[in-house]
Amino acid sequence: MKKYILFMLIILPIFCHAQGRIFKGIGSLARHNKVARSADTACVCQHLNTAVLFPRPPEIFAFTDTLANASNFTIKACIKNLKSAEGIRLTLNGEEQSIREQTTSFAIAKDESCPTGYFFSYTLTQSTSRNTVSLEARNEGGATLRYLDVPVVK
């Protein structure tokens, strides 16, 4: 048994080296035997537009708050990759706000501070304990959620 193990230990590096040379020879044969193309054959390459299949999710920039008066504050955000206001969800302290009912304080339009996206502005009433605002923007590519803690002003 000892002689067999000794024989295998001696012969194993030889087999590995020989196998490596065989695989290297096969690879070089495949590399050198390419079929030549004629001069009039051109590569017709088309790139798949994955933006149509997998659109980018919305991006929320400049999510800030501004104190309107002692009881109200206004949040503002720039949202990119958003087609309509239907994809926006706003919550204050976990309670969803109906942004479609208050059309006077809701605006989704172009603005000079947000030239490549939609400018979102909404006025909220402060609570007495805390003000945690979450803004969610959703489209076919996914959703983006941003949080903002607004300090209570008395």
Q: What is the pLDDT of residues 108-129, one digit of tens each?
A: 555 677 888 888 888 898 888 8
Residue 149 makes CB contacts below 8 A (sequence gap 6+) with 130, 131, 132, 133
Count of Cβ atoms closer than 10 Å to residue 45 Cβ: 5
Question: Distance of CA 153 to CAs 28, 71, 124, Å?
Answer: 76, 8, 13
Q: Distance (Å, rounded) from C-alpha 115 to C-alpha 62?
A: 12
CATH code of domain 59-152: 2.60.40.10
Residue 141 tokens read as 């590519």
Q: Global pTM? A: 0.60
The domain ranges of the chain are 59-152
Q: What is the pLDDT of residue 55?
A: 81
Q: What is the pLDDT of residues 55-80, one digit of tens each?
A: 889 999 888 988 888 888 999 999 98
